[in-house]
Amino acid sequence: MTNSTFILLIVGLPFLSFLLLILSSGSKLTQKVAGQIATLLMAVTFFFAAKLSLNYFASHLTQQTAELLVNYTWLEFGSGLAINMGVLLDSSSSMMLLVVTFISLMVHIFSLGYMHHEERIANYFAFLGLFTFSMLGLILSSNIFQIYIFWELVGVSSFLLIGFYYHKSSAVAAAKKAFIVTRFADLGFLIGILILGYYGESFDFTTLISRLGDVNSPQYKQITMAGFAGIQALSWGLILVFIGGAGKSAMFPLHIWLPDAMEGPTPVSALIHAATMVVAGVFLVARLFPIFTVATAAPLQIITYIGAFSALFAALIACTQTDIKRVLAYSTMSQIGFMMFSLGVIGDNGAGYNASLFHLFTHAFFKSLLFLGAGSIIHYVHSNEMEDMGGLRKKMPLTHISFLIACLAISGIPPFAGFFSKEAILHAAYTSNKMVFFVGIITSFLTAFYMFRLYFTIFWSIPEYPKTNEHGEGTWSMKLPLMVLTLASILVGFIPFSKYVNSNGIPVEGHLEIVFSIGPVLLSIAGILLAAYWFKTANTKPQRLAISMGNAFVWVRNKFYIDQLYLYITKEIVFKYFGKTAAYIDKNLIDGFYLSLAHFTGYFSFFIRGIQSGNVQHYALYFFGGILGLVSLLFYLLSY
């Protein structure tokens, strides 16, 4: 089979699963076998994706060139500007192909057990298929317009999945919030696309990068000459594209949708957080990375500082949350912040880029493991609140072990996956930007602290009124993904990642600075010990500390009141002033104009309807009058 057949199958099968299940979701039989069908199709997809991406890596050992597998002109604007539909396979998309299909498969398998009581299970698996399809389309897109189409599809499918429990008003609100916030950010993305496409005279990634990534090309000169409000057009384009990425990747201040997105089923959170939606922004910036590096420093600086700030900000909030999924949500935001600032600090020889994608890779495994573990716990306890959990170590041994390993991985303890990527990021930051490096290690300390706070409260400390359950840990279909992902979280760190995935296609030998990593690892261990001291047994130390911190704690616990700020701005300012004015204009001026037009027509016709008397002779009279008028007009015109 050729590569394009592979691609067709990889992208087509999840879509087939979506179509099949959504069209037949009414029948009882489909409801019964929906999960099995979707999982089977996903397994086949994963098989082909793995084959394709391993083929790619095997055949591109020394030089990772981008391959344009499919190319088809979709919309032609003339003068050489056209929107193509194609498939671009390079090292980063091959890597993502592997991650997305693998995580999606794990989530499918987990959902078999987790969701099997659901009524609308066929719809659920259909939406999972659509989500996977859109994400695969996004990573394989050969041009920036195509990526935008799939980008929106990802938005739609996440909307469908977050709002899956549509009978809960909070889920509906969360789905709307996620959609509107990311859609708002996508406005920036679209304008950015148009700026880059207009000056680059192309939408293709490869052409765009070769033109705008080269300081001597005429297009580059043109885009740097143009500007608006004192900022170069190139910087504008890149910053606007980044705003789109920040919306999807939940960077401050567009992060508000992410914690609320927890209203969806837990496996969906695993998919959104680990492999699909939130890493789309990182992937986008990585795709356009060569342009970022030649542009003025401003866009990359913005990415760096927003990334670093989001990382710290989210880590602080995560320390105070009590809903297990919200803690994980903020930890995702924090880790994505890591990836973002790692892209921003270029590092030596593209080290930041490599480290960022490496972290994306490892994060996918341990974060999906954490979410699936959380799903398993929620399935057992029937609650999201950490207060209802405790002492689960004995009752859920497998979940306990996998959760512990995932926590160690995310905290950056060797030899688990997160250690390698996080050290690479910190090292890249250390060599380029000391301030960001310090933010990074503080965040990494906080990460260890809040993850183990979660771990100890769930599995060790025993609450006053523990909830007991008779049923076991879960079905085999819930245990299997946990085991596989645990194994992955241990092993994937040892992959010499920068040899395969790097910014310019030339393999870089990854190296580990042992001396450098001692500090961050010790800090992480300190975070773990601190968490153990406070949370290993049920006691009042945390409460006393929280009270002694006073208002600061309340601020952090309420997420710095960012949500309230947004609500205030939208309700009190936007709705009250702009919305009401617009509504007034719409109702009275615009509607009024058309209504008065209609009224005028009505009155006028009422007035003149007497002409239609029904008497034939009157009509004949008008007719003669008309002829007389025409003839006199003719005479008048001819007399000149």
Kindly tell me which of 170 and 601 has the beta carbon lying closer to other proteins.
Answer: 601
Q: Which is nearer to other proteins, 590 or 621 (CB)?
A: 621
Binding mask 557-596 toward other proteins (x if CB under 8 A, else -) reads: ----------------------------------------
Residue span binding other proteins (CB under 8 A) among the ranges 196-204, 207-215, 589-597, 607-615: 607-615
Helix (H, G, I), strand (E, B) or coil at 472: coil
Asked if 613 interacts with other proteins (CB under 8 A), we say yes
How many angstroms separate the CA atoms of 297 and 373, rounded? Answer: 41
H or E stretch at 76 = strand 67-76
- Helices and strands, number each (H, E), in the chain: 28, 4
Shortest gap between Cβ of 638 and other proteins (angstroms)?
Answer: 19
632 lies in the site for other proteins, by CB under 8 A: no
User: Cα(386)–Cα(406) distance, rounded to whole angstroms?
Assistant: 18
- Does position 617 interact with other proteins (CB under 8 A)? The reply is yes
> Could you tell me where the DSSP H helices lie in 201-350?
205-212, 218-225, 233-248, 257-260, 266-270, 277-287, 289-294, 297-318, 324-344
Stretch that binds other proteins, among 90-98, 184-192, 453-461, 616-624 (CB under 8 A): 616-624
Q: How far apart are the first and last CA of the chain?
A: 82
616 belongs to the binding site for other proteins (CB under 8 A): yes
- Rounded to the nearest whole angstrom, what is the least distance from the CB of residue 627 to other proteins in the complex? 11
Cα angle 551, 557, 559 (rounded to 5 degrees) comes to 110
Minimum CB–partner distance for residue 175 and other proteins (Å): 55
What is the number of residues in the chain? Answer: 640
Q: Which of 418, 397, 398 has its CA nearest to residue 407?
A: 418
CA–CA distance, 465 with 20 (Å, rounded to integer): 46
**Number of neighbouring beta carbons within 10 Å of residue 280:** 26
Closest distance of CB 163 from other proteins, Å: 55
Report the 10 Å Cβ neighbour count for 167: 6
Q: How far is the CB of 572 from other proteins (least distance, A)?
A: 55
| CB atoms near residue 615 (< 10 Å) | 9
Considering the rule CB under 8 A, would residue 614 count as an interface residue with other proteins? Answer: yes
- In whole angstroms, give the CA distance from residue 454 to residue 449: 9
Kindly state whether residue 624 participates in binding other proteins, applying the rule CB under 8 A: yes
- Rounded CA gap, 283 and 280, in Å? 5
Q: Which is nearer to other proteins, 550 or 614 (CB)?
A: 614
User: Contact with other proteins (CB under 8 A): which of 63, 551, 615, 639?
Assistant: 615
Using CB under 8 A as the binding rule, whether residue 620 contacts other proteins is answered as yes
- Quote the least distance from Cβ 605 to other proteins, whole Å: 9
Question: Out of 62, 471, 610, 640, which residue is the one contacting other proteins (CB under 8 A)?
Answer: 610
- Integer Cα distance of 390 and 535 in angstroms: 10
Q: Least distance in Å: CB of 624 to other proteins?
A: 7
| Closest listed residue to residue 320, CA positions, set 495, 457, 123, 489 | 457
Task: Tell whether residue 187 is a contact of other proteins (CB under 8 A).
Answer: no
Q: Which is nearer to other proteins, 575 or 624 (CB)?
A: 624
- By CB under 8 A, is residue 607 in contact with other proteins? no
CA nearest neighbour of 197 among 108, 79, 343: 79
**Choices 3-11, 60-68, 292-300, 612-620 (CB under 8 A): range interacting with other proteins:** 612-620
Nearer to other proteins, 548 or 615 (CB): 615
- Nearest approach, Cβ of 606 to other proteins (angstroms)? 10
The string of DSSP letters for 156-199 reads HHHHHHHTSSTTSHHHHHHHHHHHHHHHHHHHHHHHHHHHHHHH
Nearer to other proteins, 594 or 606 (CB): 606
Is residue 628 a contact residue for other proteins (CB under 8 A)?
A: no
Give yes or no for residue 435 binding other proteins (CB under 8 A): no
Q: Which is nearer to other proteins, 394 or 609 (CB)?
A: 609
Residue 228 binds other proteins, judged by CB under 8 A: no
Judged by beta carbon, residue 225 or residue 630, the one nearer other proteins is 630
Q: Which of the stretches 34-42, 163-171, 543-551, 608-616 binds other proteins when contact is defined by CB under 8 A? A: 608-616
Q: Which span sits near other proteins by CB under 8 A: 53-61, 234-242, 344-352, 613-621?
A: 613-621
CB of 119 to other proteins, least distance (A): 60
Specify the stretch interacting with other proteins by CB under 8 A; choose among 485-493, 542-550, 587-595, 609-617: 609-617
Q: Are 213 and 294 in contact (CB under 8 A)?
A: yes
* Least spacing, CB of residue 610 vs other proteins, in Å: 8
Do residues 66 and 90 lie in contact, with contact meaning Cβ atoms separated by under 8 Å?
Answer: yes
Q: Which stretch binds other proteins (CB under 8 A): 156-164, 307-315, 494-502, 604-612?
A: 604-612
Stretch that binds other proteins, among 233-241, 313-321, 560-568, 606-614 (CB under 8 A): 606-614
Q: Does the bond joining 265 to the residue before it have cis omega, within 30 degrees of 0?
A: no
Residue among 231, 621, 631, 634 that touches other proteins (CB under 8 A): 621
Tokens encoding 381: 């306890």
Q: What is the largest CA-CA distance in the chain?
A: 111
Among 609, 636, 638, 640, contact with other proteins (rule: CB under 8 A): 609
Contact status: 62 vs other proteins (CB under 8 A): no
Examine residue 253 and say whether the peptide bond preceding it is cis (omega within 30 degrees of 0): yes
Instruction: Report the amino acid identity of residue 60.
Output: H
Minimum distance of other proteins from residue 629's CB (angstroms): 16
Q: How far is the CB of 609 from other proteins (least distance, A)?
A: 5
Name the one range near other proteins by CB under 8 A: 121-129, 203-211, 490-498, 618-626: 618-626
Instruction: Give whichever of 548 and 617 is closer to other proteins, judged by the CB atom.
Output: 617
Give the residue from 181, 172, 165, 94 showing the smallest Cα distance to 136: 94
How far apart CA 487 and CA 489 sit, in angstroms, is 5
- Segment near other proteins (CB under 8 A), from 43-51, 107-115, 433-441, 614-622? 614-622
- AA identity, residue 361: F
Q: Report CA-CA distances (Å) from 96 to 54, 307, 398, 404, 431.
A: 12, 21, 28, 26, 27
Q: Cβ 622 to other proteins, closest distance in Å?
A: 11
Distance CA 319, CA 357 (A): 26
Per rule CB under 8 A, count of chain residues that contact other proteins: 12
Distance CA(115)–CA(106), nearest Å, equals 14
Contacts (Cβ under 8 Å, ≥6 apart) of 495: 361
Q: How far is the CB of 176 from other proteins (least distance, A)?
A: 52
Question: 13-33: b or e for each residue (b if 16 or more CB lie within 10 Å)?
Answer: bbbbbbebbbeebeeeebbee
Where do contacts with other proteins occur on this chain (CB under 8 A)?
Answer: 609-610, 612-617, 619-621, 624
